[in-house]
A and B are shown apart, each in its own frame.
Chain A
Amino acid sequence: MFEHDDDALNRMIDRLREPVEMDPRLDTRVMARVAAPGFGARAALVWEWLRRPRAVAISPIAGLGLAAAAAVLIWVLPTHTSQPPSLPATDITPVQFVVVAPGAESVSLVGDFNDWDARLTPMRAERDGRLWTVTIPLPAGRHRYAFLVNGARWLADPSAPRAPDDFGTPSSVVTVGG
Chain B
Amino acid sequence: MTIVHRVATLALAAALFLTGVARAQDPRLVHRLDSSTTAAVGELLDSARTAGLPVEPLVQRALEGAAKHAEPDRIVAAVRRLAGELGVARAALGRESSPAELDAGASALRAGVRPEDLTLLRQRRTQSLTVALAALTDLVVGGVPPDSAASAVLALAARARDDQIADFRRAVERDIALGATPAAAAAVRVDATLHEATNAAANPNTPRKP
Contacts and interface: CB of A to CB of B under 8 A. Distances in A.
A75 B64 contact: no
Interface in A23-67: 55-60, 62-64, 66-67
Interface stretch (A1-9, A92-100, A161-169): A161-169
Q: Name B's interface SS.
A: helix
Given A82-B28, A140-B130, A178 B163 contact: yes
Q: How large is the interface on B (under 10, 10 to 19, 20 to 34, 35 or more residues)?
A: 35 or more
B64 A167 contact: yes
Q: How large is the interface on A (under 10, 10 to 19, 20 to 34, 35 or more residues)?
A: 35 or more
A116 to B, nearest CB: 4
Given A63-B4, A142-B107, A173 B28 contact: no
A86 interface: no
A56 B67 CA distance: 52
B4 A110 contact: no
A135 interface: no
A79 B23 contact: yes
A140 B15 contact: no
A168 B165 CA distance: 31
Interface of B: 2, 4-5, 7-9, 11-12, 14-16, 18-20, 22-23, 26-28, 55, 57, 60-61, 63-68, 70, 74-75, 77-78, 81, 100, 103-104, 107, 110-111, 130-131, 134-135, 137-138, 141-142, 161-163, 165-166, 173
Interface of A: 55-60, 62-64, 66-68, 70-71, 74-75, 79, 81-82, 110, 112, 115-118, 140-142, 144, 148, 154, 161-164, 166-169, 171, 173, 175, 177-178
12 contacts: A58-B8, A60-B4, A71-B18, A79-B27, A112-B64, A117-B67, A142-B134, A161-B141, A164-B111, A177-B130, A178-B131, A178-B161
